[in-house]
Structure 1
Amino acid sequence: MNIINLNKVEFGYGKQKVLKDINLTIEEGQFLSIIGPNGAGKSTLLKVINNIYENYDGNISIYGKNIRDYTRKELARIVSFVPQDTYLDFEFSIEELVFMGRYPFQKRFQNDGKYDYDISYRAMALTNTLEIKDRLITQISGGERQRALIAKALAQDPKIILLDEPTSHLDINHQIEVLELLKELNKKQNLTIISVLHDLNLASRYSDKLVLLKDGQILKSGNVDEVLTASNIENAYNTRAIVELNKFTNSLFVTPIELKKREKNTSFPSIHLIAGGGSGQVIISRLLKEGIDLSVGVLNVGDSDWQLAKSLKIDMIEEKPFSAIKDETSKENLNLMRTKDIVVIAQVPIGHGNLLNLEMALTAINEGKKVIYVKEDDDKNIDYTNGIATKVIDELILKGMIVLNSIDELMNYLENYRFK
């Protein structure tokens, strides 16, 4: 039975198209993984399916009903979503966080009932968070936080669960543990699972179907052996690979053997990028595609932009996971900025933890460095500092920072910059 249908779905941030002509049918009880290189649109596709991004073109239906016709609570009773990067700055306990999964089923001012307790405690037991249920979400590791978020999603008692990189902050034993749990729920409870996975071998091992994205389009979808071919991997990832059957897991195993060489294009200016939380992924992909000399920072270890930069061996300044940027790290970042022609700021959410990135850009512009802000969405709030970040951005603009409205505008600017 087909329960999710996407017909000619397209979506973009501002003028930048991220999803193009997506046609996809998902059956009830499937374990489907979305794979593809960074910046391909995987996370965006999940958010469009969950109606987080509403201004898409085309049609999406769940159980035969257009998702625009569901109320938020109605959709949340069917679909739960585990995001990749979740900033939790409130001192909730894990137990309190998990019980929030019951909200779609409760009326205003209604107390938790026995069923709410039973299903929430079962979710914590399944995710091995029961023993740490009284600890604050701000005081646990990234892996524990991820397991707590999955427990919250399971407490929602969904028919469909969407997961954006559910293993991203987990060590290898917890990666297997979480995916084994999801597979068990998939088989025993007929739970439909749609997951974004970067690890092709985990995707191969646990998925029934794969969708391979490249540049916002479906390059190939179908059974694992139809999608995970050497030619498809080379096409999508610009990497030659061997695909063979792993006799221990009885699943296809991908071994990369050669990354096509990336030559630096010295006719473009060199760039230092300030990003984070996935805000820089498309920019990084576009800049590297042109061979532009690029550095990034400061990024927290484990951040999605950090993962991309590390995988591509981009020069980077990093900070500990979930930690505020330290003064000495920020100074290293400023020194790296000084080696580049232009500082580019993505539309990254700014909190007190990464405010120093903006302040170092202000120092750089005061020293005569050119600074560009790529503001793709005028309605998006990025200031989580009670107005401090906005004041710094306003001062940057007064000092001559260039504001562009899309990544295409950035690329056009850099193209013309070569001839100055």
Structure 2
Amino acid sequence: MNLEVLILNNEVVANNLSIEINEKRILNNISFRIPSGYVVGVVGSTGSGKSTLLKAVTGLIPYLYKRFKVYGDLKIYGYSPIDALSNGLIAYVPQDPYSFFIGSTAREEASILDIDISSLDIGNIDVDRDLYKLSDGQLYRLLLYIAIVKGSKIIVLDEPTSHIDWWSIEDIFKLIKSFAYENNVTVFIADHRIELLKRFSDYMIYLDDVEDSCVVDEMLDANREDEEIAVLKNIKFSFNDNEILKNVSIAIRRGESIAIVGKNGSGKTTLLKILIGVLKGRGYRYVSKDVRFFMVPQNPVYWLPGGTVYSVIKRFLEMFRSRESIDSISSLFHLDKDLDKNVYSLSIGKVRTLSVALAYISNADIVIFDEPTLGLDCRYKKLVARIIRILIEKGSAVVIATHDRDFAKIFKSVYSINGGVLKKGIGL
């Protein structure tokens, strides 16, 4: 179908757009007029409604999320959002890339969408590897390039910097900017990296007051003990003859804070899974007797039990026989207003916050976070840093994998992983 025939005008227009759910107003009287070829930045604090606005632009709200009520007017190139989506005018890359694929491999996904896989600049992604075995960043990059080559006139991106590594993100933003200008495509980007977003955007939508820059200055340097409670030595791990980890060695002590940084697909998550025993690598692994692990995965929404925030906190308090109360936990983690919400209705940032709260409740000997700042604004990043400090002061070791280099710098010990090799220092 020739999209040019369908286009009535070249603007995305919102007039007094408001959205609510369960009589709670999420967006209130939002108005804008965006011409084609613009990159639009959408910013706001965690839970401010950024993803809600993007889902309204794509037509998913209220046509898929039917409990939402939409007021006011929103037109996409002259059409209602759902008609624009149905006509192929809109491509959407969500915060959670795992749930957006039809095929089982990148090659199969491209075939289903009638896209030449060789036309996608997807870097080190193995196009025949099961999608669920790819990293979060690799999946997001794959969806992004599919959106670009599909020929859509509106591209909507939710939290790209949470998924794409620090070393690639500027090049990705430059690509998006030039693509929008050269092809007269409108791009909406919601993200917490406001300084970066402002540099590449033609128009900014602020949903509330939020800091433009973020400095987390909580140095995580509590005194560690000499006792090694977990050790990996000369660990190797391969998949389909692809060497992911090469002779990796690391020791973990009580009260120690460790950050492991690396590019998308570098093996950070694989290393964490070997550490806790979920994956088995070749080499030496030692864990002290009675040492308890608690790991928060990269996408904790699939890991959480169902129910309300209240019921999940209550369940974990009972499971770990914690002396904390639901009130104290909800207050500490700013979840007071979310207690009655179903955990699957929370924003990615709020899900991340809840998962950090559960890690805090566990009081485990070794607490592991995979991408702990994903989807978090500055306020919540500072909260995560404060909680990690409390954990290490109580004697827990905390290990994170991240591509957020600025956040990694506050940790006592920082390692970088590149080409399967782990080295001390932020490197790369």
Report the TM-score, using the length of structure 2 for normalisation.
0.49
Letter paired with 1:30: Y
Q: 1:71 to 1:213 in 2, by over 3 A?
A: closer
What is the CA distance between 1:338 and its match in structure 2? 4.5
Is 1:85 aligned to residue 93 of structure 2?
no
Is 1:7 aligned to residue 4 of structure 2?
no
Letter paired with 2:195: N
Tell me, in whole angstroms, the C-alpha distance in 2 between the residues paired with 1:148 and 1:319.
24
Letter paired with 1:348: V
In structure 2, the residue matched to 1:59 is: 73
Conserved in 1, the CA contact under 8 Å of 2:317 and 2:324? no
Tell me, in whole angstroms, the C-alpha distance in 2 between the residues paired with 1:34 and 1:138.
29
Tell me, in whole angstroms, the C-alpha distance in 1 between the residues paired with 2:304 and 2:77.
49
In structure 2, the residue matched to 1:347 is: 342
The 5 Å alignment of 1:205-284 reads 205-214=199-208, 236-237=209-210, 254=213
Counting matched residue pairs gives 241
What is the CA distance between 1:96 and its match in structure 2? 2.1
The 5 Å alignment of 1:291-310 reads none
Is 1:20 aligned to residue 15 of structure 2?
no
Q: 2:160 aligns with which of 137, 159, 166?
A: 166
Tell me, in whole angstroms, the C-alpha distance in 1 between the residues paired with 2:318 and 2:149.
42
What is the CA distance between 1:336 and its match in structure 2? 7.6
Q: 1:325 to 1:36 in 2, by over 3 A?
A: closer
Structure 2: gaps of 5 or more residues:
1-8, 63-68, 219-293, 306-314, 331-338, 346-350, 362-428
Structure 1: gaps of 5 or more residues:
103-111, 215-235, 242-253, 260-316, 365-420
Is 1:96 aligned to residue 108 of structure 2?
yes
Conserved in 2, the CA contact under 8 Å of 1:98 and 1:149? no
Q: 1:325 to 1:79 in 2, by over 3 A?
A: closer
What is the CA distance between 1:152 and its match in structure 2? 2.5
Tell me, in whole angstroms, the C-alpha distance in 1 between the residues paired with 2:166 and 2:326.
40
Is 1:185 aligned to residue 175 of structure 2?
no
Letter paired with 2:341: A
Partner SS state of residue 321, structure 1: coil
Conserved in 2, the CA contact under 8 Å of 1:61 and 1:67? yes
In structure 1, the residue matched to 2:320 is: 335
What is the CA distance between 1:21 and its match in structure 2? 0.6
Q: Deviation digits for residues 230-260 of structure 1, max 9, x if unmatched? A: xxxxxx13x5x7xxxxxxxxxxxx465999x
Structure with larger RCO (C-alpha < 8 A, sep 6+): 2
Tell me, in whole angstroms, the C-alpha distance in 2 between the residues paired with 1:336 and 1:155.
52
In structure 1, the residue matched to 2:118 is: 121
What is the CA distance between 1:151 and its match in structure 2? 2.2
Q: 1:161 to 1:337 in 2, by over 3 A?
A: farther
Q: 2:56 aligns with which of 48, 55, 60?
A: 48
Q: 1:326 to 1:48 in 2, by over 3 A?
A: closer
Partner SS state of residue 134, structure 1: coil
Conserved in 2, the CA contact under 8 Å of 1:81 and 1:162? yes
Q: 1:9 to 1:326 in 2, by over 3 A?
A: closer
Tell me, in whole angstroms, the C-alpha distance in 1 between the residues paired with 2:298 and 2:326.
29
Q: 1:51 to 1:322 in 2, by over 3 A?
A: closer
Q: 1:137 aligns with which of 123, 127, 131?
A: 131
Conserved in 2, the CA contact under 8 Å of 1:29 and 1:186? yes
What is the CA distance between 1:49 and its match in structure 2? 1.0
Tell me, in whole angstroms, the C-alpha distance in 1 between the residues paired with 2:162 and 2:149.
21
Tell me, in whole angstroms, the C-alpha distance in 2 between the residues paired with 1:141 and 1:332.
31
What is the CA distance between 1:326 and its match in structure 2? 11
What is the CA distance between 1:63 and its match in structure 2? 1.7
Q: Deviation digits for residues 174-205 of structure 1, max 9, x if unmatched? A: 22232122122123222211100110111122
Conserved in 1, the CA contact under 8 Å of 2:105 and 2:129? yes
Conserved in 1, the CA contact under 8 Å of 2:50 and 2:190? yes
Letter paired with 2:77: Y
Q: Deviation digits for residues 280-324 of structure 1, max 9, x if unmatched? A: xxxxxxxxxxxxxxxxxxxxxxxxxxxxxxxxxxxxx75132477
What is the CA distance between 1:59 and its match in structure 2? 1.1
Tell me, in whole angstroms, the C-alpha distance in 1 between the residues paired with 2:126 and 2:32.
39
In structure 1, the residue matched to 2:151 is: 157
Conserved in 2, the CA contact under 8 Å of 1:90 and 1:138? no
